[in-house]
Amino acid sequence: MTSSNLLGVPETHLPAEPGVLSALQTQPLVAVVTAHPTSSLAWALLSDEAAAQPGRELEAYAYARVGYHRGLDSLRKAGWRGQGPVPWAHEPNRGVLRSLYALRRGAAAIGETAEVERLTTFLQDADPAAVAAIESA
């Protein structure tokens, strides 16, 4: 338990996605997403790719939204009950956290201020170090 986890809610650790990680090394990103549609990491990377290109902000937001929902599904399946730490240090959690970050970025790009605030809180509650880690990667 970390010092900021005052409720004593256990950390959520998602299972590894070796097939996704392997495919990312050898296949185009769209093929990885198609083959692994439940992977929030794959959707987050697809959102990042779209966000890097001018005029694709809405598409990036949509990809991030899918990654976010896939991530929520994965978290719930792993026992998460809507609160508690989702540590960046546990590498399989990074796809969900990256999807949250990408959705926050997309929401900002389309002027969804309330969603940006909600996602900032979600990221902070999941792991206060996640945003800095994502931005430094």
What is the share, in percent, of the chain residues with pLDDT greater than 70? Answer: 95
Q: Is 115 within the bounds of a domain?
A: yes
Q: Is 131 within the bounds of a domain?
A: yes
What is the share, in percent, of the chain residues with pLDDT greater than 90? Answer: 93
Count of structural domains within the chain = 1
Geometric angle at alpha carbon 123, from 117 and 125, rounded to 5°? 100
Q: For tokens 């005052």, name the residue.
A: 6
Q: Which residues of 81-115 are buried (b: 16+ CB within 10 A; e: fewer)?
A: eeebbbbbebebbbbbbbbbbbbbbbbbeeebeeb
Q: Mean pLDDT, the chain, as a whole number?
A: 95
69 is in which domain, residue-wise? 18-136
Task: Say whether pLDDT at 3 is over 50.
Answer: no
Q: Is 13 within the bounds of a domain?
A: no
Q: Is 85 within the bounds of a domain?
A: yes
pLDDT tens profile 23-80? 999 999 999 999 999 999 999 999 999 999 999 999 999 999 999 999 999 999 999 9
Residue 39: helix, strand or coil by DSSP? coil
Q: What residues contact residue 28 under an 8 Å CB cut-off, 6+ apart?
A: none
Q: Is 54 within the bounds of a domain?
A: yes
